[in-house]
Amino acid sequence: MNITYQDLLACGQDERQRMDFIRSAVREHRSSEAYRIAADAEAYYAKRNVTISKFQKLLYDFTGQAKVDLFSANYKLKTSFFRRFVTQQVQYILSNGVTFEKPDTKKKLGRNFDNQLQLAAKWAMVDGVSFLFWNLDHVEVFGFADTRIRPGYAPIHDDTTGMMMAGVRHWNAGDTARYTLYETDGYTDYIEKKGEDAKVLHPKRGYKVISRADPKARREGLDETAYVYENYPGFPIIPLYANDLLESEIVGLRESIDCYDFIKSGFANEIDDTTGFYWVLKNAGGMDDEDISDFLDRMRKVRAASVDVDSGTDIEAHTLNIPVEAREAMLNRLETDLYKDAQIVNVTDLSAASKTATEIRFAYQPMDDKAGDFEFCIREAIGKLFQLIGIDDEPSFKWNRIANQAEETQMVMTAAEYLNDEAVLKHLPWLTPEEVEEILKQKAADELGKFDGGAEGTGDTPTTDEAINAAEEAVGKTLNGSQTSSLITVIKGLKSGDITEGQAVRILTTSIGVTREEALAIIRDEE
């Protein structure tokens, strides 16, 4: 059975039917293959290899019966490959945050947007998908699989379009189950305690809460408030996928991680216990299989044996050579293959020797390819979020790549005579986009000080400070570095007579994006 949005609609407003639908949706969600993979991936991300954790060494007696080996070493060494891969890729793309063309966009996205986006990206790579919930004035992140520290989220899709039209957030706290059903027209909270019928905890309400003074309450002198609930033009929960296959990044890596952990653990076991020894019993032909089995058990437990010297019985211990080279070679091969399959740079290799800028770029190429695909998924999610809340802007990312900064800086400075200041600064590897913008603004301010000298404008021409204020008021945002530089150049040219008013208007309409009338008002210092 496949639970769909149409099944939810068929329930109408009957809360008992809706509760049955919710339980069915969550049960189907938790029994799906995608959930199973995501739950295992969460364990690997937490450095808990679920495969090796179940492994138990066995012994076989002379009858062929198996029993648990309680005496020899049974290390279960777990590596952190998957956590390392996820963290490295997320930080590679998002550690410098997201920048936007309009400076006020970040403020509109609410508190900690960069941190929340990193969290969403991490959960998406682990589970295959995460969800951005626009909660009135900020983003919250939902995970696909529930864990001991967070609820899960079961998406519900339209049977015809395949679009997500609803979803259930679910979590258990002891004997109490909690559910929140999200729909296009609001959300409803449910609670179900062990031994009791499920019930509505909070009735359906809209996503946007607007507080208004109740006119009736005001007339009667009562201190009451009426709450008006509104909704968004679309469903306010947006999926962020890890890849175009819509699956966890653990797929294709798990088997290699398991093999690595088994070999590493087996290696440790052989070193720690006495499996490197075997015993030769001389003149013990009278011992049957049961006697030998008892002897071996005693050696494992007591590590001592008694012999009858008079009868010529003797025991010799011989050692086995552990294939160290073969194991190390296999571990190294697996590690190399894991980094290749994950398309992640092994920074240890880059730090082992001084690499040229060309060598570093070549080493990063597979990771750049993968990061480009994931960035597309992030851009798509942000684009849908902007459509929902009415923002017109484009995100940009600066990847956090290790670089031969000295060599790359020298390359930029060699070409500096052919580039403007903005291009030079943007290509310097050790500057963030925010630092570039700040430097450009500071340079513009320095130029303003040199030119204006604190004096008033000549005739009807404004000072550059006045022109900047007028331009920012006209466009409704702070000018960036290049726009400020263009404006200063125009004011200089007008005052020196090097450019005409018509030329100044054409420059400002192109570089700043103002109308002809606004440009004239700026350069004439008109209100």
Per-residue pLDDT reduced to its tens digit, 91-148: 999 998 999 988 889 999 988 999 999 999 999 999 999 999 999 999 999 999 999 8
Q: Based on the domain organization, do 117 and 87 belong to the same domain? A: yes
Confidence grade of residue 454 (pLDDT, cut at 50, 70, 90): very low
Q: SS3 of 166, please?
A: strand
Confidence grade of residue 269 (pLDDT, cut at 50, 70, 90): confident
Residue 506 lies in a domain: yes
Bridge partners of 208, per DSSP, are 230
Residue 200 lies in a domain: no
Residue 370 lies in a domain: yes
Q: Can you say how many angstroms the Cα of residue 234 is from the centroid of all Cα atoms in its chain?
A: 24
Q: Based on the domain organization, do 329 and 312 belong to the same domain? A: no
Residue 63 lies in a domain: yes
Contact status, residue 382 vs residue 395, Cβ threshold 8 Å = yes
Q: Based on the domain organization, do 255 and 283 belong to the same domain? A: no
Domain stop point among 353, 373, 402: 402
pLDDT score of 399? 87
Domain that holds residue 372: 44-128+242-276+324-402
Which stretches does DSSP call E strand in 225-374?
A: 225-230, 237-241, 277-282, 314-319
Residue 291 lies in a domain: yes
Stretch among 70-74, 373-377, 452-456 having the lowest mean pLDDT: 452-456
Domain stop point among 319, 340, 375: 319
> Over 399-420, what HEC string results?
CCCCCCHHHHHHHHHHCHHHCC
> What is the spatial distance between Cα 347 and Cα 269, in angstroms, rounded to a whole number?
30
Answer yes or no: pTM beyond 0.75: no
Total domain count, the chain: 3
Gyration radius of the chain over CA positions: 34
Residue 2 lies in a domain: no
Q: Based on the domain organization, do 342 and 489 belong to the same domain? A: no
Q: And the tokens for 85?
A: 């891969």
Q: Based on the domain organization, do 313 and 250 belong to the same domain? A: no
Q: SS3 of 161, please?
A: coil
- In the DSSP assignment, the letter for residue 455 is P
Q: Based on the domain organization, do 373 and 426 belong to the same domain? A: no
Cβ atoms within 10 A of the Cβ of 131, count? 24
Of 381, 68, 101, 89, nearest to 239 (Cα)?
381
Tell me which H or E stretch contains 170: strand 164-173
φ/ψ of 449, rounded to 5, equals -65, -40
Domain stop point among 319, 347, 370: 319
pLDDT score of 195? 85
Q: Based on the domain organization, do 367 and 483 belong to the same domain? A: no
Q: Based on the domain organization, do 308 and 440 belong to the same domain? A: no
pLDDT at 456 > cutoff 50: no
Q: pLDDT (tens digit, 9 = 90+) per residue, 397-416?
A: 988 876 545 555 666 666 66
Q: Based on the domain organization, do 298 and 390 belong to the same domain? A: no
Residue 307 lies in a domain: yes
Residue 143 lies in a domain: no
Q: Based on the domain organization, do 334 and 296 belong to the same domain? A: no
In this prediction, residues 190-210 reach a mean pLDDT of 89
Q: pLDDT (tens digit, 9 = 90+) per residue, 280-316?
A: 556 555 566 676 666 666 666 655 566 555 555 566 6
Q: Based on the domain organization, do 391 and 309 belong to the same domain? A: no
pLDDT-above-70 percentage for the chain: 75
Q: Based on the domain organization, do 284 and 370 belong to the same domain? A: no
Tell me which H or E stretch contains 193: strand 186-193
Query: Please, which residues have CB within 8 angstroms of residue 264's CB and are 6 or more apart in sequence?
Result: 77, 79, 331
